[in-house]
């Protein structure tokens, strides 16, 4: 650390800013130059939708730092509107172009951080260049969308992932007529299908039209406005369209420099964020690191991992092998749309199936705090776990309150390689306004351990009623409010005295509201000699609790 280092950072948001800040704390004498192609650095890109909708009223609040504040706080030489055009790893220089005057400069470096991020995917479709079609990545995109929304009446959001749904919510809050188009058969394709149902219902309750299993085919301009042509042949009129169908890493400069990339174009790094080029680190949305569960290559375009990766890289630059390596990512994410939140951490059931990895799934419904305390709201929690070791592999949650708390607990459990047995005895904070004596996380552990110990067999779908006896053990008023086709209602308190209503040589599936009473019923029937399974999670996990819709079978 005796020689003054020159550190060059390409990209001044999230990973780049985190790296530069950490490097300064470790080395007061280093010359740290941050190159940013856009006019802003270190802005809060996750807050962009909320400014469009007015929940965040101050634009300045999103500009967390400026070149001037970063110079004052961290003695950083921040150069906005400067684009890195090429990297020469042999001479250790970066070719930089000023976008203000076109001036070129070959900038030497002792260490280089690549943090260019990712850009929205814009498919080459007919009419894609229409100025009414937008993507959201930076403050300038945000400004254009907010301005366009002031004169628009109809909006089409293409893509029902996290950002698409956040934008749909915010544009609806502005009083616009919003249609969401999604190619997959569900909103929030990042989650398993049953965990997206409440979110879809919430969108529709607030007047957002949801079109599923229908991708975008192209656009055309007519006197009436922008026409969005869908793959099914249907058309949707719009004054403004937002593309939110994913992102791809901006790694062309790394590829041209001969830096090793992964199969999907991400920069490959080791656990210290080193690339294949000496002295060159990379972090953030542009990199491929490791999955924390499997140890395999993984790319997670999220702000949290980006910031932590930047810190790891700076630590390694100064501490070498004494630095703590990046342990990998879980992909923990959450979204709020109107009154409903949904999120995930770790692997989903869909991903486990595609990987051919053995797993068990446990779905539990309960209230987010003590049911007798006013304001208790329903929540659904799904946990995936290894049937041999019991290790928690993934979790998803959806509900009206407390979703973030449970996801954070389970993300910590996965990071700690905990098992479903461990979930049973997690000592979580309890008072009636906050939780229950047996939190829904504990209940999920109990349910999984019951299956692990062979005390109950679960089913996650209702089989053909011609092959089984569907026994609904809810009280009759609840059964009549949410009837299940071909099920017989035997309220749980009467089950022991009503066994003669069932055929002993025909398998039984027990059903209840939350999944707990169906388990109790299954234990009774099993000990009475019936072949029985309990319907996982109860019907509250399969229908909107505010509506009288019937539970789908099959």
Q: Are residues 113 and 252 in the same domain?
A: yes
Domain annotation covers residue 550? no
Q: Are residues 257 and 114 in the same domain?
A: yes
**pLDDT, average across residues 114-119:** 96
Give the strand pairing for 487-489 and 469-472.
Answer: parallel
Q: Would you say 398 and 194 are in contact if contact means Cβ atoms under 8 Å apart? A: no
451's CB contacts (< 8 A; 6+ apart) are: 360, 362, 457, 458
Give the strand pairing for 458-459 and 378-385.
Answer: unpaired
Q: Would you say 513 and 538 are in contact if contact means Cβ atoms under 8 Å apart? A: yes
What pLDDT does 31 receive? 97
3-state secondary structure string across 321-376: HHCCCCCCECCCEEEEECCEEEEEEECCHHHHHHHCCCCEEEEEEEECCCCCCCCC
pLDDT digits (tens, 9 = 90+) for 442-463: 999 999 999 999 999 988 888 8
Res. 544: pLDDT tops 50: no
What does the DSSP assignment read for 78-114?
Answer: EEETEEEEEEETTTTEEEEEETTT--EEEEE-SEEEE
Res. 1: pLDDT tops 50: no
Residue 285's nearest CA partner among 314, 257, 254, 256 is 254
Tokens 């210290």 belong to residue: 272
Domain annotation covers residue 125? no
Which CATH number characterizes residue 479's domain? 3.40.250.10
Domain annotation covers residue 372? yes
Distance of CA 48 to the CA centre of its chain: 17
What pLDDT does 516 receive? 87
Q: Are residues 101 and 156 in the same domain?
A: no
Q: Are residues 236 and 141 in the same domain?
A: yes
**pLDDT, average across residues 280-290:** 96
Res. 372: pLDDT tops 90: yes
What does the DSSP assignment read for 518-544?
Answer: HHHHHHHHHHTT--EEEETT-GGGTS-
Q: Are residues 143 and 227 in the same domain?
A: yes
What pLDDT does 465 receive? 83
> What percentage of residues in the chain have a pLDDT greater than 90?
89
Res. 553: pLDDT tops 50: no
Q: Are residues 149 and 227 in the same domain?
A: yes
Give 389's pLDDT tier (boundaries 50, 70, 90). very high
The last residue of one of the domains, among 437, 452, 467, is 452
What pLDDT does 3 receive? 78
The tokens for 79 are 């150069």
Domain annotation covers residue 332? no
> What percentage of residues in the chain have a pLDDT greater than 70?
97
Q: Are residues 421 and 474 in the same domain?
A: no
Q: Would you say 211 and 179 are in contact if contact means Cβ atoms under 8 Å apart? A: yes
Residue span of the structural domain in which 400 resides: 339-452
pLDDT digits (tens, 9 = 90+) for 332-345: 999 999 999 999 99
Query: Environment class of residue 124 by beta-carbon count within 10 Å: exposed (0-12), middle (13-18) or buried (19+)?
Result: exposed
Domain annotation covers residue 333? no
Q: Which of 62-66, 280-284, 402-406 is predicted with the least confidence, judged by mean pLDDT?
A: 62-66
Q: Are residues 466 and 527 in the same domain?
A: yes
The tokens for 543 are 């229908």
Res. 547: pLDDT tops 50: no
Q: Are residues 230 and 372 in the same domain?
A: no
Give the strand pairing for 82-88 and 77-80.
Answer: unpaired
**pLDDT, average across residues 176-182:** 98
The last residue of one of the domains, among 322, 356, 380, is 322
Domain annotation covers residue 521? yes
Domain annotation covers residue 315? yes
The last residue of one of the domains, among 452, 478, 496, is 452
The CA distance from 459 to 143, in Å, is 49
Pick 50 or 460 by higher pLDDT: 50
What pLDDT does 212 receive? 97
Give 2's pLDDT tier (boundaries 50, 70, 90). low
What pLDDT does 476 receive? 94
What pLDDT does 540 receive? 66
3-state secondary structure of 389: coil
What pLDDT does 552 receive? 36
Domain annotation covers residue 334? no
The CA distance from 456 to 453, in Å, is 8
How many domains are contained in the chain? 4
Distance of CA 483 to the CA centre of its chain: 33
What pLDDT does 542 receive? 53
Which CATH number characterizes residue 25's domain? 3.50.50.60
3-state secondary structure string across 167-182: HHHHHHHCCCEEEEEC
**pLDDT, average across residues 528-551:** 67
Residue 534's nearest CA partner among 504, 512, 501, 552 is 512
Q: Are residues 137 and 218 in the same domain?
A: yes
Res. 328: pLDDT tops 90: yes
Q: Are residues 239 and 288 in the same domain?
A: no
Residue 348's nearest CA partner among 195, 214, 538, 223 is 195
pLDDT digits (tens, 9 = 90+) for 152-164: 999 999 999 999 9
The CA distance from 223 to 129, in Å, is 17
Q: Are residues 301 and 349 in the same domain?
A: no
**pLDDT, average across residues 465-487:** 90
What pLDDT does 541 receive? 55
Q: Would you say 504 and 476 are in contact if contact means Cβ atoms under 8 Å apart? A: no
- The chain-wide mean pLDDT, for the chain, equals 93
**pLDDT, average across residues 76-97:** 97
CA contacts within 13 A on the Cβ side of 291? 12
pLDDT digits (tens, 9 = 90+) for 205-262: 999 999 999 999 999 999 889 999 999 999 999 999 999 999 999 999 999 999 999 9
Query: pTM above the 0.85 mark?
Result: yes
């Amino acid at each position: 650390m005796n020689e003054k280092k020159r550190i060059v950072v390409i990209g001044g948001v999230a990973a780049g800013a985190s790296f530069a800040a950490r490097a300064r704390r470790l080395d007061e004498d280093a010359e740290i130059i941050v190159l940013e192609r856009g006019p802003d650095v270190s802005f809060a890109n996750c807050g962009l939708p909320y400014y469009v909708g007015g929940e965040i009223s101050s634009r300045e609040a999103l500009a967390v730092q400026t070149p001037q504040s970063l110079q004052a706080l961290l003695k950083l030489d921040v150069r906005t509107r400067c684009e890195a055009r090429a990297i020469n790893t042999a001479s250790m220089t970066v070719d930089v172009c000023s976008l203000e005057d076109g001036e070129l400069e070959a900038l030497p470096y002792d260490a280089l951080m690549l943090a260019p991020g990712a850009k929205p995917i814009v498919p080459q479709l007919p009419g894609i260049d229409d100025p009414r079609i937008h993507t959201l990545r930076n403050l300038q995109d945000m400004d254009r969308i907010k301005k366009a929304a002031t004169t628009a009446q109809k909006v089409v959001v293409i893509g029902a992932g996290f950002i698409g749904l956040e934008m749909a919510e915010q544009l609806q809050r502005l009083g616009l007529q919003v249609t969401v188009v999604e190619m997959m058969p569900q909103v929030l394709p990042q989650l398993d299908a049953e965990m997206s149902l409440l979110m879809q219902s919430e969108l529709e309750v607030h007047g957002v039209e949801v079109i599923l299993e229908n991708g975008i085919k192209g656009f055309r301009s007519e006197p009436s406005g922008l026409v969005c042509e869908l793959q099914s042949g249907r058309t949707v009129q719009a004054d403004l369209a937002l593309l939110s169908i994913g992102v791809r890493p901006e790694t062309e400069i790394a590829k041209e420099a001969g830096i090793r990339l992964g199969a999907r174009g991400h920069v490959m790094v080791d656990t210290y964020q080193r690339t294949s080029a000496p002295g060159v680190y990379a972090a953030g949305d542009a990199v491929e690191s490791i999955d924390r569960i499997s140890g395999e290559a993984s790319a997670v375009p999220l702000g949290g991992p980006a910031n932590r990766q930047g810190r790891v890289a700076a630590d390694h630059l100064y501490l070498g092998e004494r630095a703590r390596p990046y342990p990998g990512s879980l992909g923990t994410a959450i979204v709020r749309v109107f009154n409903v939140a949904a999120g995930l951490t770790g692997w989903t059931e869909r991903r486990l199936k595609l990987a051919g990895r053995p797993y068990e799934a446990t779905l539990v419904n309960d209230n987010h705090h003590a049911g007798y305390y006013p304001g208790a709201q329903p929540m659904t929690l799904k946990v995936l776990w290894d049937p041999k070791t019991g290790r928690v592999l993934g979790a998803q949650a959806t509900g009206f309150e407390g979703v973030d708390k449970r996801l954070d607990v389970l993300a910590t459990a996965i990071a700690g390689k905990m098992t479903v047995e461990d979930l049973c005895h997690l000592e979580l904070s309890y008072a009636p306004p906050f939780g229950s004596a047996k939190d829904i996380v504990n209940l999920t552990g109990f349910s999984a351990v019951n299956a692990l110990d062979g005390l109950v067999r679960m089913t996650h779908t209702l089989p053909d009623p011609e092959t089984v006896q569907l026994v609904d053990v809810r009280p009759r008023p609840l059964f009549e409010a949410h009837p299940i086709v071909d099920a017989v209602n035997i309220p749980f308190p009467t089950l022991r005295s009503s066994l003669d209503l069932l055929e002993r040589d025909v398998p039984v599936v027990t059903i209840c509201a939350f999944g707990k009473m169906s388990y109790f019923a299954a234990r009774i029937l099993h000990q009475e000699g019936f072949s029985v399974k309990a319907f996982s999670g109860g019907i509250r996990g399969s229908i909107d609790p505010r509506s009288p819709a019937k539970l789908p079978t099959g």
